[in-house]
Structure 1
Amino acid sequence: MPSNHSAPVKIVKPKLPKQLEPLILSDAGVDDEASFEQSTCQDETLSYVAANKVLFDQMIFNNVTFQHVSLHHAELTDIVFNHCDLSNVDLSEAIMYRVQFNHCKILGLDLTAATIRNVLFDHCTGDYATLRFANMKQVSFQSTSLVKSDFYHSELSKVEFLDCQIDQSQFSGTKLAGIDLSRTDFHNIGVTLEDLQGCIISPHQAIPLTKIFGLVVKE
């Protein structure tokens, strides 16, 4: 008998060297086209930075807070964020390969038009996050809150949502064929009937979805 759930998404982990040099990012000068690699940043705050095309490669960020930070067209490869606060950081049009966000605050994180590959969001708070026009492949959201987040006209391929809150999130224009939403919690989401074609849901989600389209369910 075929399973009602999609196959688990395989996420390639960040490839990191055994030795990483300590780096105080706030003292390093984050300017246009700056490059940082094989480093670890610990217990610091980076504030009021606006730069384009910054490169981060093979790095670990532990308990780092980003305040009023805008990094357009940034490239992040083989990166781990642990217990970091990236709330309202502008990473629009970023390119992200093999990145992990573990127990991070990503409230209002802007990933508009970002290219996202092999990325894990694990136990994060991502309400109001913006992923409009993002291109995502092999991405896993696990035990993450995405209330009122925005996936408008995104491209999703091998993307999973496991034990996530997506209430009042916007998915209009995003094809959800093959996407498993059965382990998400929501009362209302922005979506069209066409977008839902081929989407995997649980029986208890059928009622809120029918109400979205104006149908009356007689019990």
Structure 2
Amino acid sequence: MKIDSPKIQEQMMTIETIQVLESKTEYRNQLIEQISLDNQEALKVSFENVIFRNVMISDSTLEQFEFTDVVFENCDFSNVNFSGAIMHRTAWTNCKFVGTDFSTSRMQNVQFAQSVGDFSNFRFANLKQVAFAECSLISADFAYLALQKILLEHCNIDQAFMTGTKLKGLDLSNCQFDSLVLNMEDLNGCVISPYQAATFVGLMGIVIKS
């Protein structure tokens, strides 16, 4: 699956020091690094051609943020409310988004790699050309998603919620899980490994006698 990477023009960037996030602010051509913010509350802030590096934001409500051509490196946005976010050509590498709320967000050409997003919430999100690679997504909420070309590669998705999400064409064969929360009818067309098949047989209430 081809995913367009962020079109980053680092030579155009200046260093930005943020002390507070204010609603309806625009950030363009900025390098934002080595900052820690908490208890932020802002709405509809947009970022374009921006790199976040070693940034930590906690206990904050940041709804309807927009990210275009943005890179996150070594960032921690755990337990942040990013509901209703719009992301296009955005990459997260070696980040933490534990318990982060991405519900009702729209993501296209977005990559998450080597990151931890346990208990994150993507419920009712629209994901198109989105890839998760080598991520921990234990108990993440992927329920009622609109999926168009999503990749889960070598991820731990144990106990993830996938109820109401049509998994046709999704390859879970190299992911790690002992159980998932889902409806059996949503599995139609999903690709799994022979080992994983035993898990789904158990979900159907069938007992295998040795």
Structure 2 residue runs of 5 or longer lacking an equivalent are none
Q: Does 1:104 align with 2:95?
A: yes
What residue identity is the alignment partner of 1:83?
A: N
The list of structure 1 runs, each at least 4 consecutive aligned residues, that deviate by more than 6 angstroms after superposition, is none
**Residue 167 of structure 2: aligned partner:** 176
**Residue 195 of structure 1: aligned partner:** 186
* 2:53 pairs with one of 62, 70, 77: 62
Q: Does 1:146 align with 2:158?
A: no
SS at match of 1:209: helix
Structure 1 residue runs of 5 or longer lacking an equivalent are 1-8
Q: Does 1:95 align with 2:86?
A: yes
Q: 2 CA distance for matches of 1:69 and 1:37?
A: 22
Q: 1 CA distance for matches of 2:10 and 2:113?
A: 23
**Residue 11 of structure 1: aligned partner:** 3
**Residue range with higher mean Cα deviation, 124-133 or 207-216:** 207-216
Aligned length: 209
Q: 2 CA distance for matches of 1:190 and 1:203?
A: 19
Identity %: 38
| TM-score of the pair, normalised by structure 1 | 0.93
The CA deviation at 1:18 is 3.4
| TM-score of the pair, normalised by structure 2 | 0.97
Q: 1 CA distance for matches of 2:148 and 2:173?
A: 17
Q: Does 1:38 align with 2:29?
A: yes
Alignment root-mean-square deviation, CA: 0.9
